[in-house]
Amino acid sequence: MPHTLHEVLQLFAVEDTGGGTYIGRQPVDDVERVRVFGGQVVAQAMAAAARTVSGRHLHSLHVSFLRPGNPHIPLEYDVTSLREGRTFSTRRVTTRQGATVVMEALVSFIEPIDSDDYQQPMPLVAAPESLPSLEEQLAPYIDEGYAALVRLRLFEMRYIDPPPRVAVDGAPAVGVPGEAVCRLWLRIEADPPPELLSDPLLSACLLGYVSDWTILDPVQVGVGKTWQNMETMASLDHAMWFHRPVDFSDWLLYDQRAPSAIGGRGLGTGQIYNRNGELVCTVAQEGYLGRRR
């Protein structure tokens, strides 16, 4: 994974090679990865689709992850216009590496519209300043593969509910399982650059990137297993609905829940709020938890 915010934002600067095709770079010198991070493909697909739309803002994204991408080969994004209506623009984005299709996405844009305003209230949770850091919460498990996560100093993460590893360790051996909830606050570690605060598309791409980090946390809590104890845990699809512009100058609340895990599939849903309680984005992802035959 990239180690600085600048490296992450550079990933979203896809290169226009003509004919509706864009090239997305890979993180430099990241030899530890065995597959492309899904959030990176999501964000680059959004950036590529937006290059073909003018005067409209992003409002939804629906992605199907088809194959694990090679993290050492650039990604090719082919953008096709499916709709150019009076209110909506829809683009299909096909992500390839050579002849291999890695992902298919539908990205939709909308004209600015004045209309009624309603949202589900933000849940009442502890303030981020009152919560322990992720390093403190995962200190007993640092040798179980969490050292890299703790070193990832792009965002500060403070869990309101115990992180999956802590929740699973403290779960009762018997009894009725509780609600699978995993809420956390997120904030950029360093001061956000001015372009991130002034460019709605750039901030939406970063939100798409970050939204894939923890969305399957509540699934792990629900089944009582972490990724270390599963034979497989992989993203199948990813959907986002953008309600309001995101402001990365303050904390964001990621309210994540798992309605279901059955048949080798676990569903994670999330709502992202800003510090003022405004709903910024809704996220849904299904993960594959089944065993290989």
- What digits encode the pLDDT tens for the residues 178-190? 789 999 999 998 8
Q: How far apart are CA 108 and CA 106, in angstroms?
A: 7
Burial 220-258 (b: 16+ CB within 10 A, else e): bbbbbbbbeebeebebbbbbbbbbebbbbeebbbbbbbb
Q: List the single range of 26-40, 85-99, 157-171 with lowest mean pLDDT.
A: 26-40
With 90 as the cut, is the pLDDT of residue 4 above it? no
DSSP 250: S
Looking at 3.40.50.1000, 2.40.160.210, 3.40.640.10, 3.40.50.300, the CATH number of the domain 128-293 comes to 2.40.160.210
Q: Is 235 one of the annotated active-site residues of the chain?
A: yes
User: What's the Cα-to-Cα distance from 20 to each of 78, 94, 250, rounded to whole Å?
Assistant: 6, 11, 36
Length, in residues, of the chain: 293
Q: Look-up: residue for tokens 């309605």? A: 259
Q: How far apart are CA 26 and CA 42, in angstroms?
A: 13
Catalytic position from the list 161, 212, 237, 255: 212
For helices 200-211 and 38-50, the axis angle rounded to 10 degrees is: 160
DSSP 165: H
pLDDT at 171: 60
Report pTM. Answer: 0.92
Structure tokens at 244: 């309001």
pLDDT at 173: 47
pLDDT at 202: 96
pLDDT at 28: 78
pLDDT at 273: 98
Mean pLDDT of the residues in the chain: 89
Between 272 and 6, the more confident residue is: 272
pLDDT band at 239 (very low <50, low <70, confident <90, very high): very high
Q: How far apart are CA 64 and CA 102, in angstroms?
A: 9
- What digits encode the pLDDT tens for the residues 243-269? 999 999 999 999 999 999 999 999 999
pLDDT band at 232 (very low <50, low <70, confident <90, very high): confident
Catalytic position from the list 235, 237, 255, 271: 235
Q: Is 212 one of the annotated active-site residues of the chain?
A: yes
Are the beta carbons of 59 and 110 closer than 8 angstroms? yes
pLDDT at 293: 54
Q: List the single range of 103-117, 135-149, 251-265 with lowest mean pLDDT.
A: 135-149
Q: How far apart are CA 27 and CA 199, in angstroms?
A: 22
| Phi, psi (rounded to 5 degrees) for 126 | -65, 145
pLDDT band at 177 (very low <50, low <70, confident <90, very high): low
Q: Which of these, 265, 256, 273, lies nearest to 290 by C-alpha position?
A: 265
Are the beta carbons of 185 and 158 closer than 8 angstroms? yes
Topology match between the domains 1-113 and 128-293: yes
Class of domain 1-113: mainly beta
pLDDT band at 1 (very low <50, low <70, confident <90, very high): low
The secondary element (H helix, E strand) that includes residue 223 is helix 217-223
pLDDT at 174: 44
Residue range 13-31: mean pLDDT, rounded? 88
Ordered by start, the domain boundaries in the chain are 1-113, 128-293
Q: Which of these, 9, 75, 10, 76, lies nearest to 36 by C-alpha position?
A: 75
Pairing mode, if any, of strands 252-262 and 265-274?
Answer: antiparallel
